[in-house]
Amino acid sequence: MKYKYPAVVVLLILVTLTATAQQKRPTTPKPQPKAPAAQAPAPTFDTLVPAESYVIYGEVRGAGQLIRSSAINDLLEPVLKLANPPKEFRAVVRWLNTHAEEVMTSRLLVATWPSNRSRDLPEALIAIEFASAEEATRFSVSLNAFLPKVLPAPLAEPSPSPDKSLNFLPEKKEPPAPNFHLQRFGSLVVLSPKPWTMKQLKPAGSKLLAEDINFRAAHNRFSSEVVFVYLDTKVIERQEEETRKQFAQQDIEEQKLIEQAQAERKQRGEEEKEEEPADNLTVTEQVVNPMVAPGEAKDEPTTPDPVSIALSGLGSLLFDGGPTHWPDGVAFALSFEGDSFDLRALLVNQNGGKADAIPFIPMLITGPPIASDAPNILPADTELMASMSLDLPQIYTTMAKPRPKTQTYTSKGNNVDVKQVEFESPFAEIEKKLKINIKDDLLPLLGPEVAIRLPMKNMGIIGLPGVAAPTAEEKEQQTKNGPVLAIAIKDKEALRTLMPKIIEGLGFKGASALAQTERREDTEIVSYANMFSYAFVGNFLVVSGEPAATRYVVDSYLKHETLSADGQFRNSTRWQPKPQQGQLYISPSLMEGYKVWAEQPSTTVSEQTRAFLMKASVVAQPITYSLSNEGLGPLHEIHIPKNLVLMAVAGISGETNPPPTVQNERTAIGLMYTIAQAEIAYKKTNGTCATLEQLTAANMFPKEMMEKTGYKFELTVSGDKFELSAVPLEYGKSGNLSLFIDQTFTLRGGDRNGAAATASDPPIN
């Protein structure tokens, strides 16, 4: 007991000392938790794509409205009914129509063609903007459930069967990744072919596409159109330049390797032997033509006419006459206004550089904006009129501008002779023949407007494989509807004096003796042996190779039956800006020609396709185009009738999935021509035509072809003449057309209810 209290006292002292020491020791403050890093704001529709990341940027305003629009559904109807598209395409159409309400006012963004700086990015990004993140979440769930049905993942490789002799199971493989990647950023749903990160898309220091001055100018100009597309041409040019540098570097490296190999051979004492031409021929020796017998006369080569060469050179210079000035960007906009699809293209170059109006034809240098006067002189029934304001003096100067010397190479063994050829102006030979200076004597007499008039009824367009054969009346009209060139003039009397000199200088020897002059009131028509004619009509010089066409222009002008007086022309071109730099008008005759073609029983299309074509061509409308400049750059605008686009879509759809009867008819038509060609070849060798047995025996064509057409062929031969007919084996099932061809090589026929066609049937196109 006597040690009890001292022990307690000692314990209390130790506790007190420890507490005192802890109070004196400086306390280390507890580390405060780090504040969470501020998250980058979710990208928006306007901040998602940076500049120069993708070459093509597309935007659809009101995606749901576009899906439900009558224009789109009218175009989809022939595709779904005639083309037999795959089930995935039909599923996408159904799904879009079902969910159109959810994206009724949404904007849709498409970016594709990654630039060289963005090679790690997916080939395309598709983004849809919603009003809220909740709507975006609901839509992404629905879209994520639908996409595997139309974009199925690749099949997984089968796992190997387990080996019973081993004590472990085979390794399980992960299921294949889907063929798409879906992400949501706030109110955006973004779809791409593969995963990506925002760091890949928008690296440090990248600039927004909306900050690009060219893109912003184009986007603001086309802010109200349904579809907007921007093509970044400066990125394309930069990529092409990088590719050229890579090839140049490869050439340098290859040359270094060659020089290195040559140096190594020289060090080894190896001498290169100079290769001699075969048989020791020199470049001046002539090679005997084995096809010409000794002593047989040979046709001397004709020397080309220098003027013809010069004119041909002028034509080639239109496309390659100087440097092409591409814009920094090209913007496209599509809208559906009234009865037409209106497509606009703006060539933007806001950095002060020059852009050609038509970059792939650099020599079409535009002149000042004008109020086109060509419609005041061309006939009202003109099928195609194209007019443009051209800077003719500038075109002349650019074409005649000296260019770097061209080099020609002549080799003999390892020796190469290089000869430099001076550039000669393409106008030199022409001016020598004309004995005038074009720049000083001719161009000051001409105005800026140049117009052409062309026929269009026999011109094909995409999706429509043929046109109606011209009737006898139309054949009579073809001469007066021949091509016409109209050039505005400033000094009629001076040009009237100069024209005979120009015509004779261009090769019309004794032109004054061949000239025939006609007068229509105060207008004079000059013709040369029914080969060439011209007249001064209003303030234009009208030129044509068909004198009848020149007369028709003059007569229509004097009767005031011109395009400008035609109500349909005025109404269809009312939208065009005034003044403008270019104009195109294609009359309704184009659609009317296809309507007649579709009505013909001999036209080889399905009845469904024929019905669509007939429905679309009820109201024939013109195509109109304008070229202008509002200050941002050249603006191209074309209005195409919706019905004409529908006809083209129906024609393409019908071609992709023709019914068996149409397939048989086309095969039979091809075989008819094959047999007719075999008859011509047989007759050249044997002097007479051959039966089918003789043709097959001579291996002129395989007999099995006839058995696969669903047609029965009959061939009648009489000396050097033949008649070949073909009828369906089962009318209405294997085919509807009956066919006929003879030595005239004109295919005839039609729907004869299974009866044979004859030489009196109409031609088949």
- The reply to whether 312 falls in a domain is no
583 and 683 belong to one structural domain: no
The answer to whether the beta carbons of residues 446 and 494 sit under 8 Å apart is no
Residue-wise pLDDT for 755-764, tens only, equals 999 999 988 8
Predicted local distance difference test score (pLDDT) of residue 502: 86
The answer to whether the beta carbons of residues 514 and 531 sit under 8 Å apart is no
Predicted local distance difference test score (pLDDT) of residue 271: 52
The answer to whether the beta carbons of residues 732 and 725 sit under 8 Å apart is no
pLDDT at 165 > cutoff 60: no
> Which residue type, as a one-letter code, is found at position 328?
D
pLDDT at 9 > cutoff 50: no
576 and 713 belong to one structural domain: no
Boundary (domain end) residue, out of 167, 187, 207: 207
First to last CA, the chain: 135
Which run of H or E residues covers position 70?
helix 70-82
Reported as a pLDDT band with limits 50, 70 and 90, residue 317 is: low
pLDDT at 765 > cutoff 60: yes
584 and 666 belong to one structural domain: no
Who wins on pLDDT, 299 or 96? 96
Residue 560: left if φ>0, alpha if ψ -120 to 50, beta else—which one? left
Distances (CA, A) of 689 to 85, 329, 460, 674, 675: 46, 63, 36, 14, 11
Predicted local distance difference test score (pLDDT) of residue 508: 58
Residue-wise pLDDT for 34-78, tens only, equals 555 556 678 999 999 999 999 999 999 999 999 999 999 999 999
Who wins on pLDDT, 446 or 418? 446
551 and 670 belong to one structural domain: no
573 and 454 belong to one structural domain: yes
**Domain residue limits at 184:** 45-151+178-207
| H-only helix segments in 574-703 | 589-599, 607-616, 642-656, 660-686, 692-697
The answer to whether the beta carbons of residues 118 and 54 sit under 8 Å apart is yes
200 and 88 belong to one structural domain: yes
Q: Average of pLDDT values for 582-609? A: 85
Burial-class residue 144 by CB neighbours within 10 Å (0-12, 13-18, 19+): middle
Boundary (domain end) residue, out of 560, 590, 620: 590
467 and 561 belong to one structural domain: yes
Share of the chain above pLDDT 70, in %: 78
Predicted local distance difference test score (pLDDT) of residue 627: 97
- The reply to whether 156 falls in a domain is no
pLDDT at 7 > cutoff 50: no
The total domain count for the chain is: 3
- pTM of the full predicted structure? 0.80
pLDDT at 477 > cutoff 90: no
Number of C-beta neighbours around residue 378 at 10 A: 27
- The reply to whether 54 falls in a domain is yes
- The reply to whether 567 falls in a domain is yes
Predicted local distance difference test score (pLDDT) of residue 277: 47
* Diameter over CA atoms, the chain: 161
Burial-class residue 593 by CB neighbours within 10 Å (0-12, 13-18, 19+): buried
548 and 691 belong to one structural domain: no
- The reply to whether 82 falls in a domain is yes
Token readout for 365 is 């240098």
674 and 527 belong to one structural domain: no
Reported as a pLDDT band with limits 50, 70 and 90, residue 270 is: low
652: which residues sit within 8 A by CB, 6+ positions away? 83, 462, 463
Boundary (domain end) residue, out of 566, 590, 614: 590
Predicted local distance difference test score (pLDDT) of residue 681: 92
Reported as a pLDDT band with limits 50, 70 and 90, residue 398 is: confident
579 and 687 belong to one structural domain: no
Reported as a pLDDT band with limits 50, 70 and 90, residue 291 is: very low
In angstroms, rounded to a whole number, what is the distance separating the alpha carbons of residues 306 and 428?
10
Residue-wise pLDDT for 508-561, tens only, equals 565 666 788 888 888 899 998 778 899 999 999 999 988 999 999 999 999 999
pLDDT at 222 > cutoff 80: yes
372 and 490 belong to one structural domain: yes
pLDDT averaged over the chain?
A: 82
Who wins on pLDDT, 243 or 109? 109
pLDDT at 254 > cutoff 90: no
Who wins on pLDDT, 518 or 162? 518
- The reply to whether 634 falls in a domain is no
- The reply to whether 371 falls in a domain is yes
395 and 523 belong to one structural domain: yes
List strand residue ranges (DSSP E) for 484-617, in order.
484-489, 515-520, 523-528, 532-537, 540-544, 582-586
pLDDT at 91 > cutoff 60: yes
- The reply to whether 102 falls in a domain is yes
Residue-wise pLDDT for 634-645, tens only, equals 999 999 999 999
